[in-house]
Amino acid sequence: MHKNSIAVLALVWAVAVTAQATVAPEQMSLAGVTPGMTIAQLESACGQPQRKTDDNWHYSTFKVEFDDDRPGIVESVSSRVPPTATAAGVAVGQSESVLVPAYGAPDRKEVDDGETEYEYYTPDASMKLEFDVRGGSIVKISCSLRD
């Protein structure tokens, strides 16, 4: 009986550990942009934006925001335009069914007013990858540094 209890506890622990999604920092990018990049790294990866406003650079399919507390550092990148994709190949316009195979169960999932929000974090929780889903399709992807 004692051996069975230990086996059951080990199984429960293994399931609990594997159920939490963590995304490797190198997978935390959108359109080739990773939060924490410098302006020089961004320009090297993506070139010049089509438009610059205060703390935002606008490219044809995505927007980059810079960190107010750390000038010249990318704070976030977001897109609502297909086929902008993450490092894992998940793109705006795809079905939400691609999320779990690509990233595992989300660290946080919230449903509000017909929209579902999936959030994934790096192991140290310093970055967040977020997917907004409406009607079963990914309508927005954002990747950001967390305070």
Boundaries of every domain in the chain: 2-145
CATH class of 2-145: mainly beta
Q: Give the pTM.
A: 0.85
Quick one: pLDDT at residue 54?
Answer: 84
Quick one: pLDDT at residue 22?
Answer: 85
Quick one: pLDDT at residue 147?
Answer: 72
Spatial neighbors of 130 by CB under 8 A, at least 6 apart, are 117, 118, 119, 120, 140, 141, 142, 143, 144
Are the C-beta atoms of residues 129 and 118 closer than 8 Å to each other?
Answer: no
Would you tell me how many other CB atoms lie within 10 Å of the CB of residue 90? Answer: 20
Residues of the chain with pLDDT below 70 are 1-20
β-pairing, 115-121 vs 108-112, is antiparallel
Two tokens, residue 101? 């195979």
